[in-house]
Structure 1
Amino acid sequence: MTSAIDFLVITAVSLVFLAVLQGVTMAIGHRIGRYNVVDVAWGLGFVGVAWLALALGPGDPTRRWLLAVLVGIWGLRLSWHMHVKSAGKGEDPRYTDLLARSGGNNPSIVARKIFATQGAAQWFVSLPIQVSAVTGPTTGVWTAILVAGIAGWVLGFGFETIGDAQLRRFKADPANRGRIMDRGLWSWTRHPNYFGDSCVWWGLWLIAASSWPGVLTVASPVLMTWFLVYATGARLLEQSMSTRPGYPEYQRRTSYFLPRPPRAAQRSPSP
């Protein structure tokens, strides 16, 4: 009963925090004239929930600290990356298209379709962290699951960090203007950053699942993967990229999501 009450406190405080975060982010987006600022708040929301769980949870302190540190590293890096990526630029075409399909740039539509949706997703995806904060220590054979979770996080974090760095260097070279990035990790999967994100959250779930009832939160990494692959991630990006010269050829030789060796070593031709 005590653990259930502690969880209710943590999840309620997390909901309030995420609602305030998304409200402030929407106000900032309205002021600067673009709502892709919500992408900057995406990682920060998870960091806030993880550190609230660390502060409020009575569960195993080692695992609470581990999750807070891993989520903090991942979330802060991602938010900084999204800030640098979007600073000084216009609206993300994904949000322009979303609002156009939903009836326009009305504040109630913006709040519901973008900010409330992302806030709810942050709360649900972070459930493994919230539940883990009230559970006991990892013992016995469950330690292997915890270690597997750390390994998954390392794989995912490395994949998205290296992929983002490779893309940044590629775009910084004027000789690559108009070309499709198909090198490094981008020759193995068209979305190494999204694949890395998915691995990170499956790893975090495994860490939470190393103590009962964390395993019951498996729907959270499933939802995160669905977002990354189908909802707001790879699928929408593919739609906007498919008209670029060379991209259909890139699609034919490179895996969509799960990494695998490219079908051909040939790179996209110069425009």
Structure 2
Amino acid sequence: MTGFAWEAFAAGLGWGAATSLAVLLGTFVIALNLGVHRVVDSAWGVAFAAVAVVAFGLSEAHGDPGRRLLVTVLTAVWGLRLAVHIARRGSGHGEDPRYEAMLERAQGNRNLYALRMIYLLQGSLVWLVSLPVQAAQYAPRPLSVLAFAGTALWAVGLFFEAVGDAQMARFKADPANRGRIMDQGLWRLTRHPNYFGDFCVWWGLFLVACDGGWQAAAVSVVSPLVMSVLLIKGSGKRLLERHMASRPGWDAYAARTSGFFPRPPRREQQ
């Protein structure tokens, strides 16, 4: 192993795309049987974990074993935790309002529209966003300080996601909080601990890939950039805040609480 395995990496990209597509198409079949498309949100994390595991197996003769194992474990832990959390959160509920609104715009067969606009689109995004995970598997350089920095950033992200989700779940479980805005714990520091956590996770995985050399960095930098745009300007923060804007107390909460990056809340104007 003397250099970045370009040919093996290119072949692995094809297998990564096939893996992502298989998970999302399988989820589409499950959704048709259940009658709701919200199950695709759980498949998002599963697809990332599956792509990482497939890349780990394919890269055995090419990449540094330590980096291959590290990036696979980090991705699988993040993806499977997210999948389980979303599945528990959605259990017993009907269709997600986001998907219901999207399907109302369908002309023709709603399920075929969902296949194109939800499943195939998310499958493509999984493949694109997972580029650092795939590229890191084929980099032969041994782990160094940048990989450990990336792992630390990943850990910060997982903390914000997992703790933020747990705090929100406890808040919603209390009937006394019905109709109120969650502004406790990590939600005092940012309106979106889970999205900020995602941001840190993918920039952390990118640093692990960068630790393997400029080749892995060059082919995967688009991933954290795309994820950042999706979280801040795309289907993450922007859409959720549009949905929350009409709730009582939202304006005051938004005025004192950071929209993304954590910071102490502003003092309310007297």
Smaller-chain TM-score range? over 0.9
Correspondence 1:41-52 to 2 at 5 A:
41-52=43-54
C-alpha separation between the residues in 1 aligned to 2:165 and 2:80? Answer: 14
Deviates more, 1:183-192 or 1:241-250: 241-250
Deviation track 1:13-34 (CA, whole Å, cap 9, x = no partner) reads: 1111111111111111122121
Does residue 237 of the first structure (1) align with residue 240 of the second (2)? Answer: yes
1:208 aligns with 2:209: yes
Letter in 2 for 1:250: Y
Contact 1:94 1:237 in 2 (8 A): no
Cα distance in 2 between the residues matched to 1:159 and 1:104:
41
Does 2:197 correspond to 1:228? Answer: no
1:39-93 superposed Cα distances (whole Å, 9 cap, x missing partner): 1000001101111111110211100000111111111100000000111101112
What residue number does 1:5 align with? Answer: 7
The correspondence for 2:21, drawn from 19, 22, 25, is 19
Structure 2 SS opposite 1:231: coil
Q: Does structure 2 conserve the Cα–Cα contact (< 8 Å) formed by 1:40 and 1:82? A: yes
Q: Give the count of matched residue pairs.
A: 263
Q: Is contact 1:201–1:221 with CA below 8 Å preserved after alignment?
A: yes
**What does residue range 58-97 of structure 1 map to in structure 2 within 5 Å?**
58-97=62-101
How many percent identity over aligned positions?
46
Asked whether 1:246 is paired with 2:211, we answer: no
Report what 1:269 is aligned to.
Answer: none
Q: 3-state DSSP class of the match of 1:75?
A: helix
Q: What's the TM-score once normalised by structure 2's chain length?
A: 0.92
| Aligned-residue offset at 1:2 | 8.4
Unaligned runs of 5+ in 2: none
8 Å contact 1:151–1:203 — kept in the other structure? yes
**Structure 1 stretches lacking a partner, 5+ long:** 267-271
Equivalent residue number for residue 148 of structure 1:
149
Q: Distance in 1 between matches of 2:252 and 2:35?
A: 35
Displacement of 1:206: 0.2
The answer to whether the 8 A contact 2:75-2:133 is kept is no
* TM-score, normalising length: structure 1: 0.92
Contact 2:4 2:140 in 1 (8 A): no
